[in-house]
Amino acid sequence: MSYYFTVLSPTDVPLFNIAFGTSKSGGDGIARFRFPDTAQYMNQFIIHSSLDVVEEAQWMNGNMYLKHIDTYPPASAYISAFLTPSGARFLLLHQPPQLPTNASSATTGSSSLLGSSFSGSAGSSSRASASSVAANPTSPQTEEAVRQFMTEVYENYVKTVMSPFYRQGMEIKSSVFRSKVTAAGRKWL
Protein backbone atom coordinates (compact mmCIF):
# COMPACT_ATOMS: atom_id res chain seq x y z
CA MET A 1 0.00 0.00 0.00
CA SER A 2 1.32 3.40 -0.92
CA TYR A 3 0.22 6.69 0.57
CA TYR A 4 0.48 10.32 -0.37
CA PHE A 5 -0.50 12.75 2.36
CA THR A 6 -0.92 16.48 1.97
CA VAL A 7 -2.04 19.44 4.07
CA LEU A 8 -3.75 22.33 2.35
CA SER A 9 -4.46 25.74 3.83
CA PRO A 10 -8.03 27.13 3.72
CA THR A 11 -7.03 29.03 0.59
CA ASP A 12 -5.76 25.86 -1.11
CA VAL A 13 -2.08 26.59 -0.64
CA PRO A 14 -0.18 23.33 -0.17
CA LEU A 15 1.51 23.44 3.23
CA PHE A 16 2.98 20.00 3.54
CA ASN A 17 3.22 16.76 1.63
CA ILE A 18 4.81 13.41 2.12
CA ALA A 19 4.75 10.05 0.34
CA PHE A 20 5.20 6.86 2.27
CA GLY A 21 4.40 3.19 2.11
CA THR A 22 2.75 0.85 4.51
CA SER A 23 4.81 -0.82 7.19
CA LYS A 24 2.33 -3.50 8.15
CA SER A 25 1.88 -6.86 6.45
CA GLY A 26 5.35 -7.10 5.04
CA GLY A 27 5.54 -3.56 3.69
CA ASP A 28 8.82 -1.76 4.28
CA GLY A 29 7.60 1.83 4.62
CA ILE A 30 8.58 2.83 1.10
CA ALA A 31 5.97 4.15 -1.30
CA ARG A 32 5.59 2.25 -4.56
CA PHE A 33 3.03 3.91 -6.72
CA ARG A 34 1.40 2.42 -9.78
CA PHE A 35 3.26 4.68 -12.19
CA PRO A 36 6.56 5.38 -10.46
CA ASP A 37 7.85 7.87 -13.02
CA THR A 38 4.91 10.21 -12.92
CA ALA A 39 3.50 9.37 -9.49
CA GLN A 40 4.70 12.58 -7.93
CA TYR A 41 2.78 14.78 -10.33
CA MET A 42 -0.14 12.42 -10.77
CA ASN A 43 -0.71 12.14 -7.04
CA GLN A 44 -0.76 15.88 -6.61
CA PHE A 45 -3.11 16.18 -9.51
CA ILE A 46 -5.46 13.48 -8.25
CA ILE A 47 -5.48 14.73 -4.70
CA HIS A 48 -6.14 18.34 -5.66
CA SER A 49 -8.87 17.36 -8.05
CA SER A 50 -10.74 15.86 -5.11
CA LEU A 51 -10.99 19.27 -3.46
CA ASP A 52 -14.30 19.90 -5.21
CA VAL A 53 -15.73 16.83 -3.55
CA VAL A 54 -14.32 17.94 -0.21
CA GLU A 55 -16.02 21.28 -0.52
CA GLU A 56 -19.31 19.58 -1.24
CA ALA A 57 -18.92 17.02 1.49
CA GLN A 58 -17.79 19.37 4.21
CA TRP A 59 -21.27 20.80 4.74
CA MET A 60 -23.06 17.46 4.74
CA ASN A 61 -22.43 16.77 8.42
CA GLY A 62 -20.52 18.25 11.32
CA ASN A 63 -17.72 15.72 11.34
CA MET A 64 -14.11 16.70 10.86
CA TYR A 65 -13.29 13.34 9.36
CA LEU A 66 -14.99 12.98 5.98
CA LYS A 67 -13.92 9.38 5.38
CA HIS A 68 -13.32 8.11 1.90
CA ILE A 69 -14.57 10.80 -0.45
CA ASP A 70 -13.15 10.23 -3.89
CA THR A 71 -11.75 7.54 -6.13
CA TYR A 72 -9.64 7.82 -9.21
CA PRO A 73 -10.05 4.45 -10.96
CA PRO A 74 -7.24 4.65 -13.56
CA ALA A 75 -4.65 4.72 -10.78
CA SER A 76 -6.98 2.95 -8.33
CA ALA A 77 -6.33 5.80 -5.92
CA TYR A 78 -8.61 6.36 -2.97
CA ILE A 79 -8.78 9.66 -1.18
CA SER A 80 -9.79 10.32 2.42
CA ALA A 81 -10.18 13.77 3.87
CA PHE A 82 -10.08 15.46 7.25
CA LEU A 83 -11.00 19.07 7.97
CA THR A 84 -9.73 21.17 10.83
CA PRO A 85 -12.08 23.76 12.33
CA SER A 86 -9.94 26.56 10.93
CA GLY A 87 -10.38 25.20 7.42
CA ALA A 88 -7.12 23.40 6.78
CA ARG A 89 -7.59 20.22 4.78
CA PHE A 90 -5.74 16.96 5.33
CA LEU A 91 -5.95 14.69 2.30
CA LEU A 92 -4.67 11.16 2.17
CA LEU A 93 -4.35 9.31 -1.09
CA HIS A 94 -4.00 5.58 -0.74
CA GLN A 95 -3.27 3.09 -3.43
CA PRO A 96 -3.67 -0.59 -2.59
CA PRO A 97 -0.86 -2.91 -3.59
CA GLN A 98 -0.92 -4.03 -7.13
CA LEU A 99 -1.87 -7.58 -8.00
CA PRO A 100 1.21 -9.60 -8.93
CA THR A 101 -0.23 -10.33 -12.40
CA ASN A 102 -0.14 -6.66 -13.35
CA ALA A 103 3.21 -6.04 -11.78
CA SER A 104 5.32 -7.10 -14.73
CA SER A 105 3.42 -5.05 -17.29
CA ALA A 106 3.30 -1.94 -15.16
CA THR A 107 6.97 -1.96 -14.28
CA THR A 108 8.41 -2.61 -17.70
CA GLY A 109 8.80 1.10 -18.28
CA SER A 110 10.71 1.73 -15.10
CA SER A 111 14.32 0.87 -14.40
CA SER A 112 15.12 -2.79 -13.98
CA LEU A 113 16.45 -2.35 -10.46
CA LEU A 114 13.30 -0.65 -9.24
CA GLY A 115 11.14 -3.04 -11.23
CA SER A 116 12.65 -6.17 -9.78
CA SER A 117 12.50 -5.02 -6.18
CA PHE A 118 8.97 -3.86 -6.73
CA SER A 119 7.57 -7.06 -8.17
CA GLY A 120 9.50 -9.14 -5.67
CA SER A 121 8.06 -7.44 -2.62
CA ALA A 122 4.58 -7.23 -4.12
CA GLY A 123 4.60 -10.95 -4.66
CA SER A 124 5.76 -11.78 -1.18
CA SER A 125 3.47 -9.39 0.64
CA SER A 126 0.30 -9.92 -1.40
CA ARG A 127 -0.71 -13.02 0.46
CA ALA A 128 -0.06 -11.50 3.85
CA SER A 129 -2.00 -8.35 3.11
CA ALA A 130 -4.90 -9.86 1.19
CA SER A 131 -7.22 -9.63 4.18
CA SER A 132 -5.54 -6.66 5.88
CA VAL A 133 -6.55 -3.04 6.06
CA ALA A 134 -4.48 -2.13 3.05
CA ALA A 135 -6.24 -4.37 0.59
CA ASN A 136 -9.74 -3.03 1.27
CA PRO A 137 -9.57 0.72 0.94
CA THR A 138 -13.27 1.25 1.57
CA SER A 139 -13.78 -1.18 4.44
CA PRO A 140 -14.79 0.09 7.90
CA GLN A 141 -11.45 -1.03 9.30
CA THR A 142 -9.61 1.16 6.83
CA GLU A 143 -11.90 4.10 7.58
CA GLU A 144 -11.12 3.64 11.25
CA ALA A 145 -7.37 3.30 10.71
CA VAL A 146 -7.31 6.43 8.60
CA ARG A 147 -9.37 8.26 11.21
CA GLN A 148 -6.83 7.35 13.88
CA PHE A 149 -4.03 8.47 11.60
CA MET A 150 -5.74 11.78 10.84
CA THR A 151 -6.47 12.44 14.50
CA GLU A 152 -2.87 11.87 15.47
CA VAL A 153 -1.60 14.08 12.66
CA TYR A 154 -4.11 16.73 13.71
CA GLU A 155 -2.73 16.77 17.26
CA ASN A 156 0.78 17.26 15.94
CA TYR A 157 -0.41 19.85 13.43
CA VAL A 158 -1.88 21.89 16.29
CA LYS A 159 1.43 21.79 18.16
CA THR A 160 3.31 22.79 15.06
CA VAL A 161 1.18 25.81 14.27
CA MET A 162 1.46 26.89 17.92
CA SER A 163 5.18 27.45 17.44
CA PRO A 164 5.82 31.19 17.67
CA PHE A 165 8.07 31.06 14.62
CA TYR A 166 5.34 29.61 12.43
CA ARG A 167 3.23 32.15 10.60
CA GLN A 168 -0.26 31.31 9.41
CA GLY A 169 -0.28 30.01 5.86
CA MET A 170 3.45 29.28 5.82
CA GLU A 171 4.79 26.03 4.48
CA ILE A 172 5.39 23.51 7.28
CA LYS A 173 9.10 22.77 7.16
CA SER A 174 9.37 21.29 10.63
CA SER A 175 11.28 18.05 10.57
CA VAL A 176 9.63 17.11 13.86
CA PHE A 177 6.21 17.28 12.23
CA ARG A 178 7.41 15.24 9.29
CA SER A 179 8.75 12.51 11.53
CA LYS A 180 5.56 12.55 13.59
CA VAL A 181 3.51 12.03 10.44
CA THR A 182 5.74 9.16 9.42
CA ALA A 183 5.39 7.66 12.87
CA ALA A 184 1.60 8.00 12.76
CA GLY A 185 1.59 6.30 9.38
CA ARG A 186 3.67 3.47 10.73
CA LYS A 187 1.36 3.12 13.69
CA TRP A 188 -2.02 3.14 12.01
CA LEU A 189 -1.69 2.43 8.31
Partner 1 sequence: MSSATKASRIGEELWKTRVDKVNAELVTLTYGTIVAQLCQDYDGNYQEVNKQLEKMGYNIGMRLIEDFLAKSNVGRCANFRETADMIAKVGFRIFLNIAPTVTNWTSDNNQFSLVFDENPLADFVELPDDGRAQDELWFSNILCGVLRGALEMVQMQIEAHFVSDVLRGDDTTEMRVSLVRYIEDEMPPDEE
Nearer to partner 1 by Cβ, of 37 and 171: the residue is 171
Nearest to 153 by CA among 110, 187, 128, 104: 187
Query: Judged by CB under 8 A, does residue 84 bind partner 1?
Result: no
Classify residue 171 by its DSSP letter: -
* Whether the Cβ atoms of residue 95 and residue 46 lie closer than 8 Å to each other: no
Nearer to partner 1 by Cβ, of 121 and 156: the residue is 156
CB of 123 to partner 1, least distance (A): 41
The residues, ordered by sequence, that sit 6+ positions from 43 with a Cβ below 8 Å of its Cβ are 4, 19, 33, 77, 93
Query: Judged by CB under 8 A, does residue 142 bind partner 1?
Result: no
Query: Judged by CB under 8 A, does residue 174 bind partner 1?
Result: yes
Query: Judged by CB under 8 A, does residue 168 bind partner 1?
Result: no
| Alpha-helical regions (H) of the chain | 39-49, 51-57, 100-107, 112-129, 140-161, 175-188
The residues, ordered by sequence, that sit 6+ positions from 96 with a Cβ below 8 Å of its Cβ are 1, 76, 78, 134, 135, 136, 137
Pick one of 63, 124, 163, 179: the residue that binds partner 1 (CB under 8 A).
Answer: 163
What does the alpha-carbon distance between residue 58 and residue 143 come to, in Å, rounded to a whole number? 17
CB of 85 to partner 1, least distance (A): 17
Residue 108 identity (one-letter amino acid): T
Pick one of 13, 130, 176, 183: the residue that binds partner 1 (CB under 8 A).
Answer: 176
CB of 65 to partner 1, least distance (A): 24
Query: Judged by CB under 8 A, does residue 179 bind partner 1?
Result: no
Give the x-and-dash track for 42-81 against partner 1 (CB under 8 A).
----------------------------------------
Residues that bind partner 1 (CB under 8 A): 159-160, 162-166, 173-174, 176
